[in-house]
Amino acid sequence: GDSVTQMEGPVTLSEEAFLTINCTYTATGYPSLFWYVQYPGEGLQLLLKATKADDKGSNKGFEATYRKETTSFHLEKGSVQVSDSAVYFCALILNDYKLSFGAGTTVTVRA
Amino acid sequence: DAGVTQSPTHLIKTRGQQVTLRCSPKSGHDTVSWYQQALGQGPQFIFQYYEEEERQRGNFPDRFSGHQFPNYSSELNVNALLLGDSALYLCASSLVAGEKLFFGSGTQLSVL
């Protein structure tokens, strides 16, 4: 079935460090890919998305590029802040509109 | 414009009991999906409702059932609760033809 695998955490960084969270997917068709973020005590929020190969999603300084050849959608941010501390989920959706999530990566940014 | 609202925010039940969780979708949205998020895990799809019918279902037993009302709000019912049902239950709404899901803050269910 369709699935997402993302790097295990937790990840601890210092402010202004570079962040990468790896995500790879398995799908029978051509999915849309997403990164969701869950801040402490809050629900899931869409961070960015990409709907086809080579698309780049970006938001709040985060970027991810849909790589069909490597079935990947890695999340990056060049300079993290304490406020970026959260759990990040990679997800995919196919024609059935059912999101399949990865297990999540907990990121902690220290001042 | 209110987003997706869920009630209650927290709930404690004992094994064998039944529970009902409620969700009001974002204004203008007609599709409601439910997800179960166990501690330290990603959300797992339970089912999706559209036009008051269950349109899709994930790998959850029949103890999990739902309903959608004419105003698009939805309920999730779980019968014969097990300890393993303890989780955060998330509701998400969307337009039927769209992919962008809006999530509520969830109901934290604890089964003792």
- Give the pLDDT band (50/70/90) at residue B99: low
Output phi, psi for A82, to 5 deg. Answer: -55, -35
Contact B41 A97 (CB under 8 A): no
What tokens were used for A52?
């086809």
Burial status of residue A20 (CB atoms within 10 A of its CB: 0-12, 13-18, 19 or more) = exposed
Q: What share of chain A is helix, strand, coil (3-state, %, to 5)?
A: 5, 55, 45
> Minimal CA–CA distance to A46: which of A2, A101, A107, A94?
A101
B33 pLDDT more than 90: yes
> Minimal CA–CA distance to B87: which of B96, B100, B78?
B78
A84 pLDDT more than 80: yes
A95 pLDDT more than 80: no
Res A29: pLDDT: 84
Pairing verdict, β A23-26 and A86-93? unpaired
Token look-up 């999990």 returns B64
Rounded Cα–Cα distance for residues A44 and A38 (Å): 5
Q: Hey, which residues does B109 pair with through a beta bridge?
A: B11, B87
Res B101: pLDDT: 87
Q: Which of B30, B50, B60, B103 to mutate to test the interface with A (most CBs of A within 10 A)?
A: B103
What tokens were used for B1?
């414009």
- Give the pLDDT band (50/70/90) at residue B14: very high
Measure CB to CB from residue A43 to each of B40, B45, B104 and give the nearest one. B104
B49 pLDDT more than 60: yes
> Minimal CA–CA distance to B88: which of B104, B66, B109, B59?
B109
Token look-up 């999706």 returns B48
Res A24: pLDDT: 97
Measure CB to CB from residue A102 to each of B33, B42, B94 and give the nearest one. B42
Contact (Cβ atoms closer than 8 angstroms) between residue B105 and residue B6 = yes
> Minimal CA–CA distance to A19: which of A84, A78, A90, A89?
A78
The contacts of residue A6 (CB under 8 Å, 6+ apart) are: A21, A22, A23, A24, A88, A89, A90, A102, A103, A104, A105
pLDDT per residue over A11-70, tens digit each? 999 999 999 999 999 998 889 999 999 998 788 999 999 999 999 999 999 999 999 999
B57 pLDDT more than 60: yes
Query: Is A103 in the B-facing interface, judged by CB distances under 8 Å?
Result: yes
B98 pLDDT more than 80: no
Contacts of A91 in chain B (CB under 8 A): 42
